[in-house]
Amino acid sequence: MTTRRRGKDLEDAILSAAAEELRESGYPGMTMDRVAARAGTNKNAIYRRWPHRAALGIAAYRHLADAAMPDPDTGTLRGDALEMLRRANETWSSPFGAILRGLLAAAADDPELLTLMRERSGADTMDRAWLAMIQRAVARGEAPGEAAHPRVAATPMTLLRGEYATRGIPSVPDEILVEIVDEVFLPLVRGRAG
């Protein structure tokens, strides 16, 4: 330990350590002591940068996330929607998604943290992608223009999240995704005609 890290170097080391802890133990299992130890520093350095454990957790989560997949384009609205749901399901059911859910659970009481989460977790990006997808379908004449409504766009993802919330875990079976698309999303889009 000849040299002593400072500023950004140290900050990155802490974030990486926290991210690894998140990956290994989830948010509830991420302790400040272990993060400090893993980063080869001490809690002072952490608390000088982040006020809470939660703040560090969110910041570290961001360190993991960098998805930014391209929009699906299967040619049909049904195909695109299913693809989106399947991708989301994969993400949410990965250990990675478990972390996100842990964070969400911890933030559930704290509006301030919740908005932080929304920004970082790409939920808004997701909604925009759905809207764009619907607009492509409208352009193809596959859906009525009234279908391009934010709440319609957000519905399938909300339903998927609902599955996680009530079932609780590993992964939502594909039939459910199909059901969400065929029994809710597509009828909804059609029902908005005229």
Residues that bind its own copies (CB under 8 A): 26, 28, 98, 101-102, 104-111, 114-115, 118, 123, 149, 151-152, 154-155, 158-159, 161-162, 165-169, 179-180, 183-184, 186-192
- Burial class from Cβ neighbours inside 10 Å (0-12, 13-18, 19+) for residue 64 reads middle
Provide the minimum distance between the beta carbon of 194 and its own copies in the complex, in angstroms, as a whole number: 10
Contact of residue 165 among its own copies, DNA, none (CB under 5-8 Å per partner type): its own copies
d(CA 182, CA 154): 16
Q: What are phi and psi of 58, to 5 degrees?
A: -65, -45
- Under rule CB under 7 A, residue 40 binds DNA: yes
Closest CB 152 distance from DNA, rounded Å: 40
Where in 50-69 is the site for DNA (CB under 7 A)? 51-53
- Residue 108 CB, shortest distance to DNA, in Å, is 16
CB 148 within 8 A of CB 134: yes
Site size toward DNA, by CB under 7 A: 25
SS (H, E, C) 71-124: CCCCCCHHHHHHHHHHHHHHHHHCHHHHHHHHHHHHHCCCHHHHHHHHHHHCHH
Nearer to its own copies, 49 or 192 (CB): 192
Summarize as ranges the residues that interact with DNA (CB under 7 A).
Answer: 1-7, 10, 29-34, 40-45, 47-48, 51-53
